[in-house]
Each structure stands twice: as C-alpha cells, then as structure tokens.
Amino acid sequence: MFMPNQIPQQGGMQQQGSMQLQQKALYLVGRNVGISLRNGQGVSGKLCSVQGGEVYVLQYMYASQFATFHYPLNQINDIYPYPDC
C-alpha cells in the first residue's frame, strides 16, 4: 500500500547528511583536514571550529601568513583527516 508519509523528503535527506558531516567535523576539530567542496574544489588546513552551520579552517596563504576561512556545511561533500606520515 502506498504511504505518502514514508517517502523521504529531499530536504530531510540533505539535513541528515549535514548532521552526520557536522558530527564528523566536531570530531576532527584541531586536526589537519582536507575538505571536498560540492563545487569541485578542495581546501586544506587546520579545522578550528564548527559553529552556526559552518566549519572554520585555518589555511596557509603565503610567506608567513595564515587566514581563517569559513565554509557552510551544505557546501561540503566530505571532510578527510590527514593521514599519518
């Protein structure tokens, strides 16, 4: 029998994935990570914090300069911890 309330909503599925990604990000705070963005780009740096639906990453710029960038969780495919050397 067809039960319309059993069909997952697209927004609900995306929200669930975002919550899992947020939990993963919280676990990786303080570590060096690579971030795969939905637009095909990738960034890397030290994951400083997760707040307000965004991750904050300290990235190397040039010479001795670093900057903190923030990325919304809904624009991130996945976050990967750096492997051991």
Largest Cα separation within the chain, whole Å, is 65
Alpha-carbon distance of 3 to 80, in angstroms, equals: 38
Domains of the chain: total: 1
pTM: 0.79
Residue 8: is its pLDDT beyond 70? no
Q: What is the pLDDT of residues 30-77, one digit of tens each?
A: 999 999 999 999 999 999 999 999 999 999 999 999 999 999 999 999
Judge whether residue 5 has pLDDT over 60: no
Residue 14 has pLDDT above 60, yes or no: no
CATH number of the domain bearing residue 23: 2.30.30.100
**Owning domain of residue 31:** 10-81
Examine residue 4 and state whether it is found in any structural domain, yes or no. Answer: no
